[in-house]
A and B are shown apart, each in its own frame.
Chain A
């Protein structure tokens, strides 16, 4: 028996998300009184792999197959399926990110395993397997029971946190059996976003809406993001107008994020916008309209002009950080 956790890497490195997933899997393994086994695909150094032990993995199955350098949904599902069978997994944990959304549903059918998609906390009980998940775009939570003997959970990033337990993971080479049939999509062109903090990774996000008036006013917002080590985001009309790139659009029809701090400048707080950001731990709103709905979702607020507040905010953060 085991809890299996898929730890994705980025150019051979794990990131905080990977450690969070292992920590989460380990906590569930504790509830089931079993071990935590990680699966890693691709070229990752032994040091990186053994370090997963720090968060509770007792073993890491390391898969090397050049054909897996691209995300091929079917092949990845097949790798995890074979790992789950080999380790007699009762639970498989993945991230609720692009990869998780691509692979988990295929794996679910292979294993006939019910999925808890976008879960935020530990199961309320393991017998029956009961867990909370987001529903209705964050307007409610659902308690679900997964009735199958194997379950797949996709965890919302930043919702559980990293917990160190200490330990070293043993590395095992794992050679799943993959057929040509598993590789029927091929990537022809890649464009990477580099040198920027990814919105989905960021702990602090500075976001602007139509109240910013135009793309020419984004310089102070980007400067604030820089001093805070934050990613930048925007509301949908802002990306529709082409003021900001589409990757920055948050909300029901854009990215769904849960940073520790979300700062909204000139955003009214429409329900579709909040659907993407309401899980943030703390929301700060700057809006010149005291009745803007964003203040109902916010923890801290300033009624005022974003253009005036931004430079002062930059100065105050700099001062606090002793810059």
Chain B
């Protein structure tokens, strides 16, 4: 069996977000790029599954839709342990287009499990994974916190509003993963970094783009008013303020 990890290249989580060209473009000056944290955990889980004796998983591939400048991030995924990688040579702007590009690039490759993160930390859409499943007409399970494999069948746990469920799913399917899928992301070893240089990275050309959503402008949130400080020995005053001034309790 084969696992595909959809990987988004995102600014480091502590990046100070700035925009340029009249707030129409994200300013990438000085930005450190990382594997979207969820995708890093998905990759970690996929590698764990592959190492499990008898899991039947032979290969873990990562795919990214992006231009050549995302390749360092792809190499990092290879260094962590992915066997090979695909880059669809297109600027990722719209979730629908990204999902379509991925679906078209892998339609005939026969992946049994496709893993996506629940959300990319730049566009915060929570969309790409579910869209890929629909383009491929295969099942999807979202908010997945655990994936295991037994006798060639996948068991997944997902969170729903107010509870958790265990599901049994027949491959191929898409798992959209969240917290719990793996505890700590795996980090590249020295040997992994050496090996990553020679692992296959296939570049495929995109199908004609179909963009449904355009980002036309960005704004920073309005500056917050100064925090109103209350003395430690005057907790009652704070409760009064919340009642009379903020009117929330």
- Chain B 219-239, CB within 8 Å of chain A: the 1/0 string? 111001101111110011011
Q: Which of B17, B129, B160 has the most CB atoms of chain A within a 10 A radius of its CB?
A: B160
* Residues of chain A with a CB closer than 8 A to B216's CB: 130, 143-145
Chain B CB within 8 A of A171 CB: no
Which chain A residue shows the least CB distance to B232?
A304
- Known A-B contacts A193-B163, A252-B121, A282-B242; A105 and B130 likewise in contact (beta carbons under 8 Å): yes
CB of B163 within 8 A of CB of A143, answer no
Binds A, one of B58-66, B76-84, B132-140: B132-140
Q: Which of B121, B229, B231, B248 has the most CB atoms of chain A within a 10 A radius of its CB?
A: B248
Among the listed A188, A193, A252, A320, which residue makes an inter-chain contact with B168, where contact means beta carbons less than 8 Å apart?
A188
Decide if the interface of chain B is mainly helix, strand, loop or mixed.
mixed
Q: Which of A82-115 contact B (CB under 8 A)?
A: 96-99, 101-106, 108-110, 112-115
CB of B131 within 8 A of CB of A106, answer yes
* Residues of chain B with a CB closer than 8 A to A70's CB: 165
CB of B96 within 8 A of CB of A141, answer no
Which chain A residue shows the least CB distance to B41?
A253
Chain A CB within 8 A of B208 CB: no
Complex formed: what's the CA distance from A109 to B128 in Å? Answer: 10
Binds B, one of A25-33, A38-46, A179-187: A179-187
Q: Which of A52-83 contact B (CB under 8 A)?
A: 70-71, 73-74, 77
CB of B227 within 8 A of CB of A144, answer no
Chain B CB within 8 A of A137 CB: yes
Complex formed: what's the CA distance from A203 to B246 in Å? Answer: 14
CB of B215 within 8 A of CB of A185, answer no
* Residues of chain B with a CB closer than 8 A to A10's CB: 161-162
Chain B CB within 8 A of A175 CB: no
Chain B CB within 8 A of A309 CB: yes
Q: How far is the CB of B67 from chain A (nearest CB, A)?
A: 20
Complex formed: what's the CA distance from A105 to B118 in Å? Answer: 12
CB of A115 within 8 A of CB of B213, answer yes
* Residues of chain A with a CB closer than 8 A to B32's CB: none
Q: How far is the CB of A267 from chain B (nearest CB, A)?
A: 14
* Residues of chain B with a CB closer than 8 A to A296's CB: 224, 227
Q: How far is the CB of B150 from chain A (nearest CB, A)?
A: 12
CB of A144 within 8 A of CB of B224, answer no
* Residues of chain A with a CB closer than 8 A to B126's CB: 96, 101, 105, 117-118
Chain B CB within 8 A of A210 CB: no
Chain A CB within 8 A of B190 CB: no
- Known A-B contacts A98-B159, A104-B130, A312-B235; A138 and B221 likewise in contact (beta carbons under 8 Å): yes
Chain A CB within 8 A of B214 CB: yes
- Enumerate the 6 nearest inter-chain pairs by beta-carbon distance, A residue then B residue, closest first: A105-B130, A304-B232, A114-B212, A109-B134, A192-B163, A102-B142
Pairs across A and B, CB under 8 Å, 5 listed: A102-B143, A188-B155, A247-B159, A299-B246, A300-B230
Which residues on A are within 8 Å of B, measured CB to CB? 8, 10, 70-71, 73-74, 77, 96-99, 101-106, 108-110, 112-118, 130, 133-148, 184-193, 198, 200, 204, 228, 246-247, 249, 252-254, 260-261, 271-272, 275, 278, 281-282, 284-285, 295-305, 308-309, 312-313, 316-317, 319-320
